[in-house]
Amino acid sequence: MDIKVGGWGEPKDATKETQGICDQVKSLVEGKTHKIFQEFKAVEYRDQIVAGKNFLIKIHVGGHNYIHLFVFRDLPCNGGRLELLGVQQHKTKDDPLEPFNN
């Protein structure tokens, strides 16, 4: 496995870990977007090792609608807390996961 500190990894299929992150930040996403999501399924992600880990996650929210999340997870020794750094709405299945700031 080739891990480069600071660089974003290639897109990968979502895992139980990434779905778990999404489940934990869903209420924050709903608050930020002022929407209630009946469907909230992680489909793809990229990660970046920093002093913790950043995640870009593509979420299927029903129909042809997707959103992208930017989430930071602190190191386990610092509590492993999650922080929602950004949300991009109005995405499609084919939109690439690219770093963004909100």
Residue 101 pLDDT greater than 90, yes or no: no
pLDDT grade, residue 5 (50/70/90)? low
Helix (H, G, I), strand (E, B) or coil at 20: helix
pLDDT per residue as tens digits for the range 53-80: 999 999 999 999 999 999 999 999 999 9
Mean pLDDT (whole number) for 90-98: 96
d(CA 84, CA 72) in angstroms, rounded, equals: 7
Helix (H, G, I), strand (E, B) or coil at 42: strand
Mean pLDDT (whole number) for 16-24: 97
Residue 1 pLDDT greater than 50, yes or no: no
Residue 6 pLDDT greater than 80, yes or no: no
d(CA 71, CA 54) in angstroms, rounded, equals: 6
Identify the bridge partners of residue 84 per DSSP, sorted by sequence position: 71
Please state whether the predicted TM-score (pTM) of the whole model is above 0.85: yes
Domain boundaries, the chain: 12-91
CATH class of the domain defined by 12-91: alpha beta
Of 1, 33, 48, the residue nearest 57 (C-alpha): 48
